[in-house]
Amino acid sequence: MIHSDVILERLLSLHPKRIDLTLDRVWALLEKLDAPQDRLPPVVHIAGTNGKGSTLAFIKAIAESAGLRVHRYSSPHLVHFHERIVLAGETIPEPYLAVLLAECEAVQSDTPITFFEITTAAALLAFSRTPADLLLLETGLGGRLDATNVVREPAITVLSRIGIDHQEFLGETLTDIAHEKIAIARNNTTLVVGAQPEEAAQVIADYAASHKIRTFTAGLDWSFQRENSAESLSEWQWQHEGKKLVLPKPTLHGKHQFENAALAIATVKILQKQNFTIDDTDIVSGIAQAEWPGRMQSVRNGYWKQNLPEDVTLWVEGGHNLDAGKVLSEMLAELDAPRLIIGMLKNKDCAGYLQCIAPYLDGAQSLTIPDTKAALSAEAIAKLHSQVQPARDFTYALDQAVRSGGKNLIVCGSLYLVGAFLARNEAGTEPADI
């Protein structure tokens, strides 16, 4: 059997553009595959700009605490493509992934289709053939024309916080982007809405009213409460209809994770109304156990961790837009002697991101993301702020960060940079071509 990496490499050549938003190609392929999107477990479809992955992670942890078998689809992956597809709690095994990709490739032949579209079809095929109680389906980047938006009747749709990102595909304003994201909502499905900027909130409210969509909205139907110092507290509260649920501090790092956890709880409350066997003890357990790699993740082992001084903590954080920069700045304020290693893509607002974290750029290093054509060069990043110095590779950047007195080293700015770092940390080597 051909390894999945070989097939994935071939699939990358089926369309000249990496992203070309339309559903026509996906519908055509799914029809040839006998419509797997119509044979799925109940679907929770999640869109948004910030926090949708973390929200998914909290929902998954809660559902699994209740003993449910959970499928998960997310993107991008960090190290291995297999990370995108989780079947009933287990990452898809290599032989099965290769079989599914080969099946989709044979059906598609040489007809143009994007990489995300055909791999999403393969994922839906896997989900349709493996029993589970729930499928958590994360959009790729938009909503209306996203390849995941083929599920006719999801159990629930979810919108995490909407922000400015992917403007070249979704529009320049929050209003434009919100119109794209809200289009996953269905008039026979409850839409759970997280906290939103005013412009996005208005678009969501208008769309829901005009399409007769039931909503369960942060600040209107449910809320959460924590004190300003909640990062150091062990408890917080989620509230609905006068009832309070007391919860442990989320396992995921950062004050923003209270918001994502609260959105996950709101989603689970709708699942409870749909007769899913989940009780409040499962919610408490899930909030305390959720994991989401690449988002302020503490790296506890591997090549570089083993070679750092024992009193130095290593982190990776893949957020890449202005909102992510603001969140990172809040987290850096809690850390002792943070030092940043930054890499970004050319189509991101790197100058704005650096401005968000400007107080913490003393001793920062910039890197060109390895093996990424769309990467902004280390030199170009360094030119945007006087406190940032270009580095030739991860090893040099980490060494400089430690030499400058860093106690918390954070690799940040892009999931692609984080993925490259984790892959090399796992492999125990750094190729000379970086």
CATH number for the domain including 397? 3.90.190.20
283 and 309 belong to one structural domain: no
Q: Containing domain of residue 375, as a range?
A: 297-427
Average confidence (pLDDT) per 10 residues, the chain, 434 residues: 85 71 90 98 95 96 98 94 97 96 93 92 98 97 91 96 76 88 94 96 95 96 77 78 93 91 98 96 96 91 91 93 88 93 94 95 95 93 96 95 95 94 85 47
Residue 433 within a domain = no
Angle between helix axes 280-287 and 256-273 (nearest 10 degrees) is 150
Last residue of a domain, one of 238, 267, 287: 287
Residue 327 within a domain = yes
29 and 113 belong to one structural domain: yes
Residue 172 within a domain = yes
**Predicted pLDDT of residue 221:** 97
274 and 317 belong to one structural domain: no
Last residue of a domain, one of 257, 287, 317: 287
Name the token pair of 13: 């050549």
Contact 322, 284 (CB under 8 A): no
185 and 136 belong to one structural domain: yes
Residue 276 within a domain = yes
Name the token pair of 183: 């289009």
**Predicted pLDDT of residue 433:** 43
**Predicted pLDDT of residue 19:** 65
Whole-number Å distance between alpha carbons of 10 and 119: 12
Q: How many domains does the chain have?
A: 2
76 and 196 belong to one structural domain: yes
Whole-number Å distance between alpha carbons of 300 and 309: 13
Residue 82 within a domain = yes
Last residue of a domain, one of 221, 253, 287: 287
Residue 434 within a domain = no
| DSSP character string of 32-55 | HTT-GGGS-S-EEEEE-SBSHHHH
268 and 168 belong to one structural domain: yes
384 and 268 belong to one structural domain: no
152 and 301 belong to one structural domain: no
105 and 232 belong to one structural domain: yes
Q: Read off the amino acid at residue 8.
A: L
279 and 325 belong to one structural domain: no
Residue 292 within a domain = no
Closest to 365 measured CA to CA, from 319, 411, 434? 411
Count of CB atoms situated within 10 Å of the CB of 366: 27
79 and 164 belong to one structural domain: yes
Whole-number Å distance between alpha carbons of 350 and 342: 10
Name the token pair of 406: 């860093």
Closest to 335 measured CA to CA, from 396, 403, 253, 229? 253
* Cis status, amide bond into 76, omega within 30 of 0: yes
Residue 374 within a domain = yes
307 and 331 belong to one structural domain: yes
Closest to 349 measured CA to CA, from 325, 382, 328? 325
**Predicted pLDDT of residue 230:** 44
